[in-house]
Amino acid sequence: MKQIGLTMKLLKITVLQLLVLLSATASASPQQDNPVAVQDGDVVITEQELAYLVTTWTGQMRSVAAEDEGDRLELLNLMMANKRVAAEADELVSDNPELYYQYQHALEGFKRDFVLRTYKDSIESPDFTDLAREQYVVNKNKYAVVPETRLSSHILFEVRPGTSADIRNVVREEAQAVLDELRAGADFEEMVTLHSDEPGASQRKGKFDRWIRYGDAGVSAPYVEGLFAIQGVGVYSDLVQTQFGLHIIRLDGIQEKSYKPFEEVAGKIVTDLQNEFIKLSMKDFVTKFNFSDDVMIDEEVVTRVLAPYQPQQ
């Protein structure tokens, strides 16, 4: 017999399958055109039921059941065991009102979800192509924007957490002096080699090898703020404090904000429109089941049930 863990797979029966079994009667008589496939005592699995349950198996389970008699018997046994366990529900709740209403509520919840799911699957969405084009124009920043990104280099003056104020002041004075030299025309790569505390900075010539967009979560926020405050390529920032220390940032490049063409984002827009259409259709469908004009509410009964939950005076 193939060892594929069929027992564990089938024991993980879905809530849908289990509730179908719970809502079926264990002794239901098969019709002539729906012969019994498996029977154990009063519990039967008809051909049509078996055909449905087989569709819920994985492809591997179906294949081995078709090819291997031992695996097939194991699967059929577990199906029958599940059905016989489900058949115990009525007896289990017959003398226990609390369990009875848990059981009924679960069945009603399944039926409700089944109706809603079936209705949702039946909804046919119209062609949203023209509306999608309108949305592309109206909500271009939502669907098509490619944010501005910036490339930078920097010099790090390391200041570890817990460093005394005196040392911090010394480092800041050094960093400011270097910044003044750079703004006066000093060679940036030379200053990186002489002053940067970042490992490997000299080999990389101080480059931060990443295009950064505003709000980039992968980069220290003060660094991003400092980078986007720079007004032009080749210009230096003021000193920027991050958790790593003080930075002098140079803006090396800007990729301006742009927009993707409609064809590239049309699928996303259409999907959003379809989802909104389905959401509104579902809401309209559910509204039909609100109180009718014939509703009757016995306030005395409702008040009596809610009485224990009234706030104490």
CATH of the domain at 218: 3.10.50.40
Residues 117, 192: one domain?
Answer: no
Residues 111, 211: one domain?
Answer: no
Q: Is 191 among the domain residues?
A: yes
More confident residue, 96 or 123: 123
247 within 8 A of 154, measured Cβ to Cβ: yes
Whole-number Å distance between alpha carbons of 180 and 236? 10
The reported pLDDT for the residue numbered 159 is: 94
Give bridge partners of residue 241 from the DSSP assignment: 246
More confident residue, 289 or 13: 289
Residues 115, 19: one domain?
Answer: yes
Residues 156, 117: one domain?
Answer: no
Whole-number Å distance between alpha carbons of 245 and 268? 42
Residues 116, 179: one domain?
Answer: no
**pLDDT, tens digit, 9 for 90 and up, residues 216-236:** 999 999 999 999 999 999 999
Q: What's the number of domains the chain is made of?
A: 2
Model confidence at 117: pLDDT above 50? yes
Q: Is 111 among the domain residues?
A: yes
Model confidence at 8: pLDDT above 50? no
State the CB neighbour count (10 A cutoff) for residue 251.
21
Residues 110, 21: one domain?
Answer: yes
The reported pLDDT for the residue numbered 312 is: 82
26 within 8 A of 87, measured Cβ to Cβ: yes
Per-residue confidence band for 157, with pLDDT thresholds at 50, 70 and 90: very high
Stated pTM of the model: 0.66
Model confidence at 29: pLDDT above 90? no
Domain boundary among 208, 225, 255: 255
Q: Is 194 among the domain residues?
A: yes
Q: Is 143 among the domain residues?
A: no
Domain boundary among 208, 234, 255: 255
Taking residues 54-74, report their average pLDDT.
94
Residues 108, 162: one domain?
Answer: no
Please give the residue range of the domain that contains residue 175. Answer: 149-255
Point out the least confidently predicted range of 75-89, 188-202, 284-298.
75-89
